Amino acid sequence: MAYLTTHPDVVPVISFRFGKGAADIDRYLELDGYKSVRKCFEMEPDAIINEVKTSGLRGRGGAGFPAGMKWSFVPKESAKPKYILVNGDESEPGTCKDRLIFEHDPHSVIEGVLIAGLAVGAKMGFIYLRGEYRFLIEIMEKAVADAYQRGFLGKGIFGTKHDFEIVVQTGAGAYEVGEESALMESLEGKRGVPRIRPPFPAVAGLYGGPTIINNAETIATVPHIFRIGAKEYAALGTERNGGTRLFCLSGHLEKPGVYELPMGYNLKKMIYEVGGGIPNGKKLKAVVPGGSSTPVLLPEEIDIGMDFDQVAKAGSMLGSGGVVVLDETVCMVEFALRTIKFYQHESCGWCIPCREGTDWLKKSLTRLHMGGAVDKDIDQIKYIADNMLGRTFCPLGDAAAMPTAAFVKKFRKEFEDHLNGKGCPYHPAPDYELATV
C-alpha cells in the first residue's frame, strides 16, 4: 500500500519531491536539492544542532526522541571516528514510509546525512536498508554513486575542505536489527543482537565510535528544515512535536496509503476523511495507531491528535506512524495471534522473557483461537505478557507484550467467546496456517 496518495490536508514537506523524478540527481538539484547542506557549511556545528532543536523534530523510528538533543550528546572530541547511521530497516508491520523516501527522494537521505555529519564532526555515514527492500538498493546506490561523481561525497566535498564517505548496506531480513544497537552489530558483521547500554551510541556506537543513529525519515526531514526554516517547520505541528510526518494508513479503509500530515492531526479525521472511512458500510472495531507494537485503541478512543504526547495520554504510542484500521469483521483473537506470530518469529532469542514468552504466547493464543482453551488460559496469556513487560533486554519484548495485554484487556469478551471448544465465531474453520504451532 505504499503508493502515493493525496488529500487536501496533506502538507508536503518531506514528500515535496515525491513523484517528481527526484531520484535523478539533476532533478533533485532543480528542486532545491543540496542547497541546505551548502547553507550548513557556513554554519557552526552548534548552530546546526540548534536549528534541529528549534524545529522540534522527533525521531520517526518509533520512540520519538528529539533529534537535536540526540545530536548534542555526541562528544566534540573523540579518539575514534564518528559515524552517522541511517536506520532504513523499516520492518514494523503497518509501516511503509521510509521506502517511499528511498524510492522518490534518495538524495534527501544523503543530504541529511551530510548535515548530521557537519553537526557532529563525522566523516562517514552508513545507510542501512532492510534486506527485503531489494529494489531500493539499486536506487540508493545509484544516488550515492551520482553524489560521489558530482563531488558531493568523497574528498573535499562541494569544493570545501570537508571529506565524507557513505556506504549503503543491507540487512538479511530481521526485524530486530531495526533496533539501533542490533543494527550496529549487524553492520559490523555480527549476529543481530542488541548491545548492553550504557554506553549509548552517541558515546560508543558503531565500531566503538560516537554514532548518531536516526530513522530514515528523521534524517530525510533535516534538509527540509533548512529549506523552509526551523521555526516554520516547528509551527506546522503541535507543541514539542514539530512539523509533519508520513502516516501510513492501512487496513479497512477506502483510501489506504501514505499521507504527510501535520503532527497532532486528529486520528478520527485521519481515518474518516483522509482515509475515506471504512468500506462497505462496516463499523470500525479497533485502531492500532503507530505500528503493530502499539496498544490497540477502541473507536471511542480515537478522537485524539496524532502526536507523541497525545497518543501516549490515550494509553498507546505514536510509534512509527503506521495506522492500522480494523472493521467489525476482524476476530481480535486472530489479530492478536497474527501480531504475536510476527514477534515470535522476529525475536532474536537473546533474552529469556522475550524468547520464551513470545513462543508461549503464540502457542497459547493458537490454542485459544482454535477453541482449546479454558477461562484461566486468558489470565495465563495476560500473565505472560505482564511478566515480559519491562523485563526484556530490548524493547522488542515490550513490543510483543504491550499489544497482547491491550487486546486481552479491551476485548476480553471476545477472548471468552472462543473458550471451551467453541472456537472462532468469525472463522468457524480456523485458518490452518495460523493454527500450526
Partner 1 sequence: MADVTFTVDGKQLTAPKGTLLIEACRKAGIEIPAFCYYPGLSLQGACRMCVVRVEKMPKLQTACTTPVADGMVVTTESPEIAQARKATIELLLGNHPLDCPVCDAGGECELQDMTFKYGAHQSQFVEIKNHREEQQWSPVVYFDRPRCILCYRCVRVCGEGMDVWALGIQNRGSGAVIAPNKQDHLECEECGMCIDICPVGALTSGTYRYKTRPWEMSHVSTVCTHCADGCKTTLGVRRADDGMEIVRGDNRDKSGFNNDFLCIKGRYAFDFASREDRITQPLLKQPDGQFKPATWDEALDFAGKQLREIRDTRGGKSIGVIGSTRITNEEAYLLQKFARTVLGTNNIDHHRTADYPSFLAALKAKGQKEASIRDFADAKAILVLGSDPTEQHPLLAWQIRNNVRNNQARLYAANHQDIKLRRQATGFLKIQQENYGALIAFLAGNEKTFEGNANAAGFREALRKEESIVIAFGSEYRGRDIEALIAFGAGFPNVKFACLGDYANSRGASDMGLLPDLLPGYVPVTGAGSFMQEYGAALPQTAGMDMVQMFDAAGRGELAALYVASADPVKRFGVDPAALKNTFLIVQDMFLTETAKLADVILPAANLYEKAGTATNTYGDLQLVKKAGDKAGVRSDFDLIVRLAGHMGHDIKSLVPFGKGLLADFGQSRGTQSGEADRHAVWLTAHQLELKASPFDPFAIFDEIQRLVPAYDLPRLDLMAGNDEHLKSDLVQIQTGATRRDLVLPSNDTLFTSGTLGEYSQMLHSVMESRKQSPAETAAD
Contact residues: ligand FMN, CB under 6 A: 59-63, 65, 87, 89-92, 175-176, 178-180, 213-215, 218, 394-396, 399
SS3 55: helix
Query: Could you tell me the smallest distance in angstroms from the CB atom of residue 409 to partner 1?
Result: 19
Positions that interact with ligand SF4 (CB under 6 A): 176, 194, 347-351, 354-355, 392-394, 396-397
Task: Say whether residue 349 binds partner 1 (CB under 8 A).
Answer: yes
Distance of CA 366 to the CA centre of its chain: 28
CB closer to ligand FMN, 176 vs 417? 176
| Dist. CA 278–CA 401, nearest whole Å | 28
Query: Could you tell me the smallest distance in angstroms from the CB atom of residue 90 to ligand SF4?
Result: 17
Query: Could you tell me the smallest distance in angstroms from the CB atom of residue 348 to ligand SF4?
Result: 3
173 binds, among ligand FMN, partner 1, ligand SF4, none (CB under 5 to 8 A by kind): none
Q: Which three cell numbers stand for residue 56?
A: 522540534
- For residues 89 and 177, is the Cβ–Cβ distance under 8 A? yes
> What residues are paired with 251 via a beta bridge?
325
| Dist. CA 416–CA 437, nearest whole Å | 21
Cβ neighbors of 62 (< 8 A, separation 6 or more) are 92, 215, 290, 291, 293, 317, 319, 320
Task: Say whether residue 92 binds partner 1 (CB under 8 A).
Answer: no
Query: Could you tell me the smallest distance in angstroms from the CB atom of residue 383 to partner 1?
Result: 8
Task: Say whether residue 390 binds partner 1 (CB under 8 A).
Answer: yes
CB closer to ligand FMN, 67 vs 157? 67
CB closer to ligand SF4, 20 vs 355? 355
> What residues are paired with 129 via a beta bridge?
88, 170
Which listed residue (391, 416, 419, 434) binds partner 1 by CB under 8 A?
391
Which listed residue (29, 360, 371, 435) binds partner 1 by CB under 8 A?
360
| Sign, Cα dihedral of 311, 109, 71, 54 | negative
| Dist. CA 4–CA 323, nearest whole Å | 16
Query: Could you tell me the smallest distance in angstroms from the CB atom of residue 391 to partner 1?
Result: 5
Residue 121 CB neighbours (<10 A): 15
- For residues 212 and 70, is the Cβ–Cβ distance under 8 A? yes
- Residues 293 to 332 in contact with partner 1, rule: CB under 8 A: none
SS3 218: helix
61 binds, among ligand SF4, partner 1, ligand FMN, none (CB under 5 to 8 A by kind): ligand FMN
Query: Could you tell me the smallest distance in angstroms from the CB atom of residue 381 to ligand SF4?
Result: 18
